[in-house]
């Protein structure tokens, strides 16, 4: 059996690792971003909850104010839609969404007018909303997510948009209260820092979503999870490189056991390394005469 030249093997392994790095850059490893659906533990309220739905939260707050004025009366949700100029919303559907959550009772009448009355659960929910409005961190996280989604929806093609326009949308409310201009600009600063948007020097100032911002929106995740996901992807990439070295070293050792180690062309093998979409390393069988 031929003697293994350790120095030659180490040289070939380094060349193989460099080949893997080039292949990984051509086909980066992707890491999905998870969506947090709870207001607990520093996450944004899920969009399927009243707290995370800007229109339902506003409606519940509005109903609470109306109930305080007339505790025993049923309230017409159509008034809310008209007052808030929510022309795309259906008052009856909003009422039924709250009823499904046991937050209101809906009066069954012959007409289509959605008359509702807050339940005990509805009053408790309004109390939670009042407390949530005071959570500055939660407000900022919501504003970042809401603005990012809005920007992707209206300018996913990276067209510059005046960010102030966001404040006139139904999404510009957190827990039933308006997002302020100061909160919006703080959110923009964080989104820019995370490279999800870029500021455009125009008059008035505009912003555009970046390719990273588009990618984040397509995952359906929350923007505050992106730094963690990027860091995790880099760590996984580094571990994959070390894994590649282990695989390559074992491959070279086995091949060198039957050949003189100097005959094993590491550059030739490195050029053929491939990575799959999930980062899986593929090293084809080695043949000395392969070209």
Q: What is the pLDDT of residues 66-76, one digit of tens each?
A: 999 989 899 99
Output 138 or 37, whichever has higher pLDDT.
138
Contact call for residues 241 and 233 (beta carbons, < 8 A): no
| Average confidence (pLDDT) over 10-19 | 62
Instruction: Give the domain range for residue 11.
Output: 6-30+228-282
Q: Do 81 and 104 sit in the same domain of this protein?
A: yes
Quick check: pTM over 0.75?
no
Residue 139's nearest CA partner among 172, 164, 170 is: 172
Looking at the domain assignment, is residue 47 inside a domain? Answer: no
| Average confidence (pLDDT) over 106-116 | 83
User: Per-residue pLDDT tens for 23-49?
Assistant: 555 555 443 333 343 333 445 566 668
Q: Do 212 and 234 sit in the same domain of this protein?
A: no
Strand partners, 275: 281
Q: Identify the weakest region by mean pLDDT among 5-19, 99-113, 134-148, 178-192.
A: 5-19
Return the percentage of the chain with pLDDT > 70, whole number.
60
Domain limit, last residue, from 78, 111, 132: 132
User: Per-residue pLDDT tens for 228-277?
Assistant: 444 444 445 444 544 555 555 555 565 555 554 445 455 555 555 555 55
Provide the token pair at 91. Answer: 């008052």
Confidence at residue 232, expressed as pLDDT on a 0 to 100 scale: 45
| Residue 84 CB contacts under 8 Å (≥ 6 apart), including other chains | 58, 62, 170
Looking at the domain assignment, is residue 14 inside a domain? Answer: yes
C-alpha 172: how far from its chain's center? 18
| Statement: residue 18 has pLDDT above 60 | yes
Provide the token pair at 179. Answer: 């997002």
Confidence at residue 229, expressed as pLDDT on a 0 to 100 scale: 47
| Average confidence (pLDDT) over 153-163 | 95
| Average confidence (pLDDT) over 44-64 | 86
- pLDDT-derived band at 58, boundaries 50, 70, 90: very high
- pLDDT-derived band at 144, boundaries 50, 70, 90: very high
Distance CA 141, CA 123 (A): 25
- pLDDT-derived band at 9, boundaries 50, 70, 90: low
Looking at the domain assignment, is residue 45 inside a domain? Answer: no
Structural domain count of the chain = 3
Mean pLDDT of the chain: 78
Domain limit, last residue, from 197, 221, 245: 221
Q: Do 82 and 115 sit in the same domain of this protein?
A: yes
| Average confidence (pLDDT) over 120-124 | 96
| Average confidence (pLDDT) over 206-212 | 96
| Statement: residue 146 has pLDDT above 80 | yes
Output 141 or 31, whichever has higher pLDDT.
141
Distance CA 3, CA 22 (A): 31
Confidence at residue 62, expressed as pLDDT on a 0 to 100 scale: 97
Looking at the domain assignment, is residue 148 inside a domain? Answer: yes
| Average confidence (pLDDT) over 119-127 | 96
Q: Do 128 and 140 sit in the same domain of this protein?
A: no
Q: Indicate which CATH number applies to the domain containing 212.
A: 1.10.10.10
| Statement: residue 101 has pLDDT above 80 | yes
């Amino acid at each position: 059996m031929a003697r293994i030249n350790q120095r030659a093997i180490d040289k070939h392994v380094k060349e193989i690792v460099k080949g893997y790095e080039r292949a990984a850059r051509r086909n980066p490893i992707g890491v999905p971003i998870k969506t947090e659906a709870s207001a607990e533990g520093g996450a944004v309220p899920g969009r399927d909850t009243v707290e995370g739905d800007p229109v339902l939260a506003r409606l519940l707050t509005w109903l609470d104010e109306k109930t305080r004025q007339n505790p025993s009366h049923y309230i017409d949700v159509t008034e809310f839609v008209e007052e808030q100029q929510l022309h795309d919303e259906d008052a009856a559907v909003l009422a039924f969404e709250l009823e499904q959550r046991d937050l209101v009772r809906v009066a069954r009448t012959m007409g289509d007018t959605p008359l509702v009355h807050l339940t005990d659960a509805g009053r408790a929910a309004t109390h939670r909303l009042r407390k949530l409005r005071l959570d500055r961190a939660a407000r900022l996280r919501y504003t970042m997510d809401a603005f990012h989604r809005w920007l992707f929806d209206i300018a996913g093609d990276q067209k510059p948009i005046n960010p102030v326009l966001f404040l006139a949308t139904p999404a510009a409310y957190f827990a039933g209260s308006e997002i302020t201009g100061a909160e919006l600009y703080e959110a923009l600063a964080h989104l820019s820092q995370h490279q999800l948007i870029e500021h455009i020097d125009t008059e008035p100032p505009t912003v555009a979503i970046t390719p990273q911002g588009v990618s984040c929106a397509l995952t359906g995740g929350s923007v505050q999870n992106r730094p963690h996901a990027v860091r995790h992807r880099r760590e996984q990439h580094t571990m994959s490189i070390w894994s590649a070295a282990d695989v390559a070293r074992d491959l070279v050792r086995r091949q060198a056991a039957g050949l003189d180690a100097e005959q094993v062309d590491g550059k030739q093998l490195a050029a053929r390394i491939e990575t799959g979409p999930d980062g899986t390393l593929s090293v084809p069988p080695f043949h000395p005469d392969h070209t």
